[in-house]
Amino acid sequence: MTFKVIIVGGGPVGLYMAYAFERANIDYVILEQQDTVLNISGQLLFTWPQKVRLFDQIGLLADLEKVALGIHHKKRLFGDNGQVTTTGNFWDAMQNKSVL
C-alpha cells in the first residue's frame, strides 16, 4: 500500500517530521501557509534533553554537537540598563540528572 503523509505547517516540528519521513523513504508533502519557513523571530535554537534524543534518532546529533553550546547558567535581564532580575543554575542541575 502506498500513501502520502500530509504535514500541515513548516515550523520546527513539521520540518523535523519531513526529515524523518525523507530518511524513512515515506512520501510526504508540507503545507505551509506562509511564504517562507524562515521566520526569524527567536534568538537561538534551544533544545531540551528530550529533543536532543529525537535529533539523535534521525542522525543529526553529531552535526548539531559541532555547532551547539551548552547552557549552564540563566540570567534574566530587564530594561535598558540590563538589570539582572533572576539567575539560576537549573541547567547544570539538569545536565547532572540527564539520562541521555
Ligand X SMILES: Cc1cc2nc3c(=O)[nH]c(=O)nc-3n(C[C@H](O)[C@H](O)[C@H](O)COP(=O)(O)OP(=O)(O)OC[C@H]3O[C@@H](n4cnc5c(N)ncnc54)[C@H](O)[C@@H]3O)c2cc1C
CB 5 within 8 Å of CB 26:
yes
Type of residue found at 43: Q
Of 18-26, 31-39, 50-58, 63-71, which part binds ligand X (CB under 6 A)?
31-39
Q: Pick between residue 9 and residue 68 the one whose CB is nearest to ligand X.
A: 9
Site membership for ligand X, residue 8 (CB under 6 A): yes
* Smallest separation, CB 1 to ligand X (Å): 26
CB 7 within 8 Å of CB 17:
yes
CB 12 within 8 Å of CB 24:
no
Rule CB under 6 A: which residues touch ligand X? 8-14, 31-34, 41-46
